[in-house]
Amino acid sequence: MKKNGGYDYIFAGAGAATLQIVGKFLEHKQFAKKSILILEQNTNKANDRTWCFWEEKSKNDWLPFVHSQWENITFSSESIQLKESILPYAYKMVRSNTYYTHVRELIAKNKNIKLRYEKVETFKPNAEWVDVYTDQNIYAGAYFFNSIFDWSVVRQQSKYPVLQQHFVGWFIKTDEDCFDASTANFMDFCVAQKGNTRFMYLLPLSATEALVEYTLFSKNLLQIAEYEREIRKYLTQKNVRNYRIVETEQGNIPMTCYPFSKHNSERVLHIGSAGGWTKASTGFTFKFIEQKAKKLVSFLITQSDMRLFEKRNRFWWYDLLFLDVLARYNHKGSFLFSKLFQHNNPITILRFLDEKTTFKQEIRIMRSFPVVMFIGELLRRLVRSLH
Ligand SMILES: Cc1cc2nc3c(=O)[nH]c(=O)nc-3n(C[C@H](O)[C@H](O)[C@H](O)COP(=O)(O)OP(=O)(O)OC[C@H]3O[C@@H](n4cnc5c(N)ncnc54)[C@H](O)[C@@H]3O)c2cc1C
């Protein structure tokens, strides 16, 4: 359908979700003739994200973009110090700029795809198309994919807890060898918790380079100075003294089971974090976007009603219960994650977070946690769902 000189597909935002979906379109001949418009407000998108994820070490799909990878991880807290191999997985890091540049080059070679730098202000679906209003134009699209995350949507409700994974990270370079580049420090809870779930995340890129992030899973952001103070303190504790900050990174990722899909309609699909594709209990999103992009491409070949795309699974319920607990007992995050790593093999944990475990394995994982805390929260949730 093309009306008003319109497009088959319009995307709001040219971030991870849009680019992965459009990248998948380019692999399928069914989409070769579709007219696609991507609207992005930021003319200067570069290394604004460091995307890390785990997958089989042998998988090569992201290879051209992988900046670093690790076969071992550590987990540390007051009660447990653990260093384990995660083979057959590897923990991989992609820096966004290389990926943005690659997809932008592909887009430039395909006449059916246009990327315009305009700010999307609103959209209005009707029975046959969707009008998309930007600061410069109005476009009509048969389908509209929205990746613009709106915090006010989740903050206007209280049924589902809303935490944030928020952090400030420094890429540092040291004068002397300080890091073991074979091992990613996944979570180090040996920092003051101050009533929240707070940890350090340290990814060594070489013996003299690392990304170190002070991270919280909590409701409210801190002042930048506090994240920075804690990074400085941590580096001193680890005897990392002579270093330069080469680059910085900052983010806050939504952690919520809010059902974003209820805003989808026949011709509108919310994608990426705006579509609830962020794993609520961890903030990991990148690999879920990959899975959803693949699924969406197959879906679009046979289906036309976007309300049918999202399906809830049992992992949504696990995430909801975990977030209910973490929101109420935010100071207990170190204790809860320690229990998880104490009682389960890290490979099973990663598989669980990927939503690929069996029910039997999931029961075993759940038994790692204090039953009373979770039963109490489950009962509260059941009562809440009756209202
Ligand atoms: C710093 C950072 C690091 C992260 N690291 C990881 C990680 O290691 N692993 C992981 O799994 N996840 C990570 N995430 C979470 C998640 O993977 C990323 O946020 C991912 O980029 C989400 O993709 P998206 O397409 O939903 O949103 P985005 O990539 O944010 O894309 C949305 C796009 O919309 C544009 N936009 C916004 N408003 C408008 C408007 N009005 N008009 C037009 N365009 C607009 C934005 O400029 C942006 O380009 C990280 C997030 C951040 C912020």
What CATH number does the domain containing 244 carry? 3.30.70
Q: Name the least confident of 2-6, 129-133, 258-262, 334-338.
A: 2-6
In a domain, 136, yes or no: yes
How far apart are the CA of 86 and the centre of ligand 1, in A? 27
How far apart are the CA of 11 and the centre of ligand 1, in A? 14
Q: Name which of 83, 79, 53, 59 is nearest 180 in CA terms.
A: 83
Q: Do residue 173 and residue 243 come from a single domain?
A: yes
8 Å CB contact between 201 and 249: no
Q: Do residue 229 and residue 265 come from a single domain?
A: no
Q: Do residue 145 and residue 287 come from a single domain?
A: yes
In a domain, 77, yes or no: no
The answer on pLDDT for 44 being more than 90 is no
The answer on pLDDT for 102 being more than 50 is yes
Q: Do residue 12 and residue 141 come from a single domain?
A: yes
In a domain, 112, yes or no: yes
Looking at the chain, the whole-number percentage of residues with pLDDT higher than 70 is 98
Where would I find the H helices in 36-90? none
Q: Verify whether ligand 1 is closer than 6 Å to residue 226 (CB atom).
A: no
pLDDT of residue 140: 96
In angstroms, the first-to-last Cα distance of the chain is 43
pLDDT of residue 2: 41
* Residue finishing a domain among 255, 280, 299: 255
Q: Do residue 132 and residue 20 come from a single domain?
A: yes
Q: Do residue 228 and residue 248 come from a single domain?
A: yes
The pLDDT tens digits for 242-301 are: 999 999 999 999 999 999 999 999 999 999 999 999 999 999 999 999 999 999 999 999
Q: Do residue 104 and residue 176 come from a single domain?
A: no
Q: Which residue has the tokens 């900046």?
A: 67
* Residue finishing a domain among 247, 282, 308: 308
The answer on pLDDT for 111 being more than 80 is yes
Q: What are phi and psi of 55, to 5 degrees?
A: -165, 175
Q: Verify whether ligand 1 is closer than 6 Å to residue 286 (CB atom).
A: yes
Burial 116-137 (b: 16+ CB within 10 A, else e): eebebeebebeeebbbbebeee
Q: Which of 285, 290, 296 to mutate to test the pocket of ligand 1 (most atoms within 8 A of CB)?
A: 285
Q: Which of 116, 123, 273 to mutate to test the pocket of ligand 1 (most atoms within 8 A of CB)?
A: 273
Q: Which residue has the tokens 């418009």?
A: 37
As a whole number, mean pLDDT of residues 168-188 equals 97
Q: Which two tokens stand for residue 150?
A: 């709106």
In a domain, 142, yes or no: yes
The angle that helices 359-366 and 346-353 make with each other, rounded to 10 degrees, is: 110
Higher-confidence residue of 149 and 384: namely 149
Q: Verify whether ligand 1 is closer than 6 Å to residue 164 (CB atom).
A: no
The pLDDT tens digits for 194-250 are: 999 999 999 999 999 999 999 999 999 999 999 999 999 999 999 999 999 999 999
Q: Verify whether ligand 1 is closer than 6 Å to residue 13 (CB atom).
A: yes
The pLDDT tens digits for 30-42 are: 999 999 999 999 9
Q: Which two tokens stand for residue 262?
A: 């209820």
Domain count for the chain: 3
Q: Do residue 127 and residue 20 come from a single domain?
A: yes
pLDDT of residue 3: 45
Q: Do residue 286 and residue 141 come from a single domain?
A: yes
Hey, whose CA ends up nearest to atom 29 of ligand 1?
Answer: 15
How far apart are the CA of 332 and the centre of ligand 1, in A? 28
Q: Do residue 112 and residue 261 come from a single domain?
A: yes
Give 268-315 as a DSSP string: EEE-GGGGT-S-TTT---HHHHHHHHHHHHHHHHH---GGGS----HH
Whole-Å CA distances, 98 to 22, 45, 48, 79, 283: 16, 11, 11, 39, 22
Q: Do residue 251 and residue 281 come from a single domain?
A: no
Hey, whose CA ends up nearest to atom 34 of ligand 1?
Answer: 13
Q: Name which of 101, 150, 159 is nearest 121 in CA terms.
A: 150
* Residue finishing a domain among 255, 281, 297: 255
pLDDT of residue 5: 59
Domain hosting 121: range is 7-49+94-156+257-308
Q: Do residue 207 and residue 246 come from a single domain?
A: yes
In a domain, 76, yes or no: no
